[in-house]
């Protein structure tokens, strides 16, 4: 996931030879993905509720 953090769980399953439940793998990928994706710059936007943005 380090090189391609947005890689689909189905592609990861194929690459690692996953033969168990896809739900289990998807749940684990959902848990780990935020550690590799990083912070979206839009999430850091600070808005003052008193003064609306221009």
pLDDT digits (tens, 9 = 90+) for 1-54: 777 888 999 999 999 999 999 999 999 999 998 888 877 777 777 777 787 766
CA distances from 43 to 10, 11, 47, 50, 51 (A): 28, 28, 11, 19, 19
pLDDT, position 21: 95
Whether 7 is in a domain gets the answer: yes
Whether 28 is in a domain gets the answer: yes
Whether 42 is in a domain gets the answer: no
pLDDT, position 53: 65
Name the domain count of the chain: 1
Range of the domain at 28: 1-37
pLDDT, position 54: 67
Whether 51 is in a domain gets the answer: no
Burial class of 25 by CB neighbour count within 10 A (0 to 12, 13 to 18, 19+): middle
What's this model's pTM, rounded to 2 decimal places? Answer: 0.64
Whether 50 is in a domain gets the answer: no
Whether 6 is in a domain gets the answer: yes
pLDDT, position 28: 94
Instruction: Give the whole-angstrom CA distance, residue 33 versus residue 27.
Output: 10
């Amino acid at each position: 996931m380090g090189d391609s953090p947005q890689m689909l769980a189905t592609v990861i399953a194929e690459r690692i030879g996953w033969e168990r439940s896809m739900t289990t793998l998807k749940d684990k990928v959902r848990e780990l993905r935020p550690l590799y994706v990083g912070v979206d710059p839009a999430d850091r936007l600070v808005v003052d509720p008193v003064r609306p943005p221009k």
